[in-house]
Amino acid sequence: MGGVAGAQFCVEDRRCKAALNLDGIPQYGTMIDTQMPAPFLMVYSGRAGRAGASDIIYKRSASKYYRVDVKDTLHLDFTDMNYWGGPLRQRGAYGTIDPARAAEITRLVVREFFAQEILKQPSAWLAGKQTQPGVTVVEVRK
């Protein structure tokens, strides 16, 4: 629930400078009908029916909205649980992406977004000037 809570925090507290959601559930709360003055980034895994599930809310609410889609991932690929494998892997809880690659992408997303939005260090990656295989980045709302 971290991404949903982060977005809601940015609606309620002006100290919030930016928030992101790593493939969390669709947004709910007062953010649905409230302007959020902070930039927001949503990462979508390759889960069926998941892509774009909260776009309509973030496009309308966030002052700036980025959408990142990561091929061959499922929700748990954006956590360190991906390294554990075991029964969760056997039950299909992870995508086909290599765990180290999933961690690399997660670090990249978090680092580039917060460095740009909080530290004011423009990101060539978020601007589309650098790419990563299997990852698409779109600035949906400027």
CATH code of the domain covering residue 104: 3.40.50.1820
- Helix or strand or coil: residue 79? coil
Q: What percentage of the chain reaches a pLDDT higher than 90?
A: 61
Hey, what are 137's tokens?
């980045």
What pLDDT score was predicted for residue 33?
85
Q: Give the lowest-confidence range in 3-17, 45-59, 65-79, 115-129.
A: 45-59
Predicted model pTM: 0.92
Count of domains forming the chain? 1
What pLDDT score was predicted for residue 81?
86
Q: What b/e readout covers 97-131, taking b as 16+ CB neighbours within 10 angstroms?
A: bebebbbebbebbeebbbebbeeeeebebbeeeee
Using the predicted structure, report yes or no on whether residue 121 has a pLDDT greater than 80: yes
Q: For residue 79, what are the domain limits?
A: 2-141
Report the distance separating Cα 44 and Cα 90, nearest Å: 22
